[in-house]
Amino acid sequence: MYAILKKEIQSFFATPIGYLVIGLFLLANGLFLWVFKGKFNILEYGFADLSGFIFWRRGFLFF
């Protein structure tokens, strides 16, 4: 199982597309958590409830 995981991760990061996907995902997460106004913004919402954010992130990963 470890050999398959290692092979998949190496093939994902063998091209710049893998780094681009990870970078866009992290950028989108950061923007929704700290910059954009709404129920996803931690500072505006008042406490760190990530249930709505996790729902959004799951849909983003399926895309």
Which domain covers residue 14, as residue numbers?
Answer: 2-62
Whether 49 contacts 42, CB under 8 Å: no
Whether 34 contacts 41, CB under 8 Å: yes
Does pTM surpass 0.85?
Answer: no
Per-residue pLDDT tens over the stretch 9-40 = 899 889 898 899 889 888 988 887 788 887 77
Per-residue pLDDT tens over the stretch 37-53 = 877 777 776 777 777 67
Residue 49 is classified by DSSP as -
How many domains does the chain divide into?
Answer: 1
